[in-house]
Chain A
Amino acid sequence: MAAHCPRCGTGLHFRKPRSVERCWALLISGYILYIPANLMTMMETGSLISYRKDTIVSGIVHLWKTGNMMIATIVFIASVVIPLLKLISLTLLLVSVQRRSRWRPKQRTRLYRMIELVGRWSMLDVYVVTLLAALVQLGSMALVKAGPAAVAFGAVVILTMFASMTFDPRLIWDPLQNEDSHD
């Protein structure tokens, strides 16, 4: 069922409309872009003595090897674990909703809340790269350039945020009420 606001004409819904379908679409886009985000160059750093191109993982490895284990861990969690966890969790939620699973609705709802909360923190990587690229422009002395992976990664984070927004957590509880789900 759909309705319009008689004043402004905005579409009105009882539930988030086409939640599952839209969520799937955004989620699949996220999955697709996750591949180039991890395979392509995230950041190019050049200085007088060295020049390197780093993907996310090679950057983390480099940080780890050069002794910055704390930062490596933070970047690893923010840039690799969280996006991946988000993608997998959303997939889990969608699959469970579509199969009308009654399995632990409370935990699943908590998982959803966590995804929404934590999602924006994955932008850390993108922030770092964009800030560095904007700030460190010393000509031939030092150079930081954002690679194509930065765009892809940013897109992954945004897409997963949208996906979690479009997901309607009430769908988790629907099977328990033995009702038809509303659009």
Chain B
Amino acid sequence: MTDTAKRPDLPEIPDAVSEPKRRFSVQLVWIIPILAALIGLSLAVKSFMDRGQEVTITFKSGEGMEAGKTKIKYKDVQIGEVKALAIAEDRSHVIVTAEMYKEARGFLVKDTRFWVVRARISGGNVSGLSTLIGGSYIGVDAGTSKQPQEDFIGLEAPPAVSMDAPGRQFVLHADDAGSLDTASPIFYRRMQVGQVIGTQLDPDGKGVSVRVFVRAPFDRYVKASTFFWHASGIDLTLNTNGVKVNTESVVSILLGGISFQNPDEALDAPLAPPEAVFPLFATRDEALKHVEAAEPFLLVFKESVRGLAVGAPVDLRGVTVGEVTRIDVVLDGKRSEISIPVEVELYPQRLHAHQQKGPQKAKTHSNRELMDALVAHGLRAQIKSGSLLTGQLYIALDFLPKARAGKIDWNSAPPQFPTMPGSMEQVQKSLMQIVQKIEKLPLEDLARDAGKTLRSLDATMKSADTLLKNVDSSVIPEARSVLSEARQSLDDVRKTLGETRKTLGGANEVLSADAPVQLDLRDTMREVSRAAQSLRVLGDYLEQHPESLIRGKREDKK
């Protein structure tokens, strides 16, 4: 540039005029570093603001987790990331350090739950298949607590029910867990309405607590009077009613489950509060039995109770109103007798329901008065054979008019109910009576009389014999001759009839369509008609050619 300014050979071009240096010399170029600083600062601030919160989660194993890769997801949306995996000092578990995104700060409260989502096949369903490809991640169930927390203990299995699922939880007590497990279904009228959250052995080891979750809106069917039972597998019972197979659904056969139901009359019962505790019965029948108030009674039998089992029904004219709960044997030393006290439980409510359909006035009748009245009318307990095939017995209550007077002994515990010897015993007794009567019969006298009678009978028979012989010799020959004559005349009649038939047959032959006479006649008629035809031809010819009579027939010119 300096060179061109000095060249004089381009006179039209004016010289560049130099200017004095401007004093104000803060250069615009400094805006660039300021901008850069601003950008850098804003990035820093942004990353600081976006910086999530660090939490630690403790797991039993770090299977499938990788620092910097494993994500933390809530409802399949990423809300954090695992930053580091470390082994606890006592080497018993793994501590996962994770960074939660800024938006996920609300999740970090006391009752938030974390678990590792892996592919799982359990409880009849398959979950987490996407983790087979994408790697496992940590699932989160947001807690509802307000208390913030940064250290969590991870669950080893995903929770069956997330916190925000509407519904209620209940606790069931059972003798054993059966085939129940987490995620076993819960049925109401064979619809799945919930699932088992967990099973736990009671601290005293005497039972099992099953925590269940019933989804809304089905949880309103769980009332205070609701009863639950195991719907696990196949319930096959063999009793006096025969074989009975009871199942809930195919799923529950394989996996087990729980069903619940309300007693029919308790549909408007109050709702059960959350966390309410219910007993869990083994079968529906058992549950039904226990719903009603049972009243124990003692029945004392003297006869054999072979075939009577605990659980056998107590039956009132075909309606089961109770069951046998205990069978004992008592030796009575004084009278050297054996008596068999059988404890039964009766459901007087069923009697109420069947006997008094009227208004609730019946309730004023106490059970005792009612039972006393029934017994006074002859209600007795009896052992009866339910099935000849299985030999099982049941206890029947019925009104026996012939019963000896008896009443319920309310003083003994449980109250003793009057019994009658059962039908088997009665049969035996009446058989004995028959035998005794037979023994009492004057058999020898009878035999003697019979001998006499036989002898006189013999004489009578002999005289009858002679009488018959007489008849034989005098009457029979004559009768025989009469008979032979009659036979001859009959033979004559038969011959005459045969001839008549022949005559008729001849006539028949003549008249029938294929009879030779008919055929001949037909042929003759045909001949005659032909002759007539040729006569007609001849006549015609002669009419046209009368000369032919003289000259003879001309040759045809054809």
| B-binding residues in A (CB < 8 A) | 1-7, 12-14, 18, 21-22, 25-26, 28-30, 32-33, 35-36, 40, 48-52, 148, 152, 155, 159, 166, 183
Contacts and interface: CB of A to CB of B under 8 A. Distances in A.
Contact of A48 (B2, B16, B25, B134): B134
A166 B32 CA distance: 14
A46 B19 CA distance: 60
A25 B47 contact: no
A33 B40 contact: yes
B134 A49 contact: yes
Contact of B16 (A4, A25, A51, A148): A4
Contact of A29 (B16, B32, B43): B32
Contacts of A166: 29
A17 B207 CA distance: 93
B29 A25 contact: yes
Contacts of A152: 39, 43
B333 interface: no
B18 A1 contact: yes
Interface centre among A6, A13, A18 (most CB of B within 10 A): A6
Contacts of B1: 12-14
B534 to A, nearest CB: 112
Given A3-B16, A25-B30, A49-B135, 10 more contacts: A1-B21, A2-B19, A3-B18, A5-B16, A14-B2, A21-B27, A28-B36, A40-B43, A50-B135, A166-B29
A22 B27 contact: yes
Contacts of B33: 25-26, 28-29, 32
B11 interface: no
B15 interface: yes
A160 to B, nearest CB: 12
Interface of B: 1-2, 5, 13-19, 21, 25, 27, 29-30, 32-33, 35-37, 39-40, 43-44, 47, 69, 133-135
A7 B12 CA distance: 10
Given A32-B40, A33-B39, A148-B43, A26 B17 contact: no
A3 B17 contact: yes
B340 to A, nearest CB: 75
Contacts of B5: 3, 12
A159 B21 CA distance: 27
B62 to A, nearest CB: 18
Nearest to A40: B43
Q: Is the interface of B mostly helix, strand, loop or mixed?
A: helix
B14 A6 contact: yes
A153 to B, nearest CB: 13
A28 B133 CA distance: 46
A40 B47 contact: yes
A159 B32 contact: yes
A50 B133 CA distance: 9
B134 A4 contact: no
Contacts of A48: 133-134
A29 B21 contact: no
B18 A2 contact: yes
Nearest to A156: B36
Contacts of A30: 36
11 contacts: A2-B19, A4-B17, A6-B17, A7-B13, A26-B32, A28-B36, A40-B47, A48-B134, A49-B133, A159-B32, A183-B21
Contact of B21 (A2, A7, A148): A2
A36 B40 contact: yes
A35 B19 contact: no
A140 to B, nearest CB: 11
A26 B133 CA distance: 48
A13 B5 CA distance: 11
A7 B135 CA distance: 70
A29 B35 contact: yes
Contact of A18 (B17, B29, B69): B29
Contacts of A155: 36
Given A1-B21, A40-B43, A32 B36 contact: yes
A141 to B, nearest CB: 12
Contact of B19 (A4, A7, A32, A52): A4
A157 to B, nearest CB: 13
A177 B15 CA distance: 29
A52 B27 contact: no
A13 B1 CA distance: 8
Contacts of B35: 29
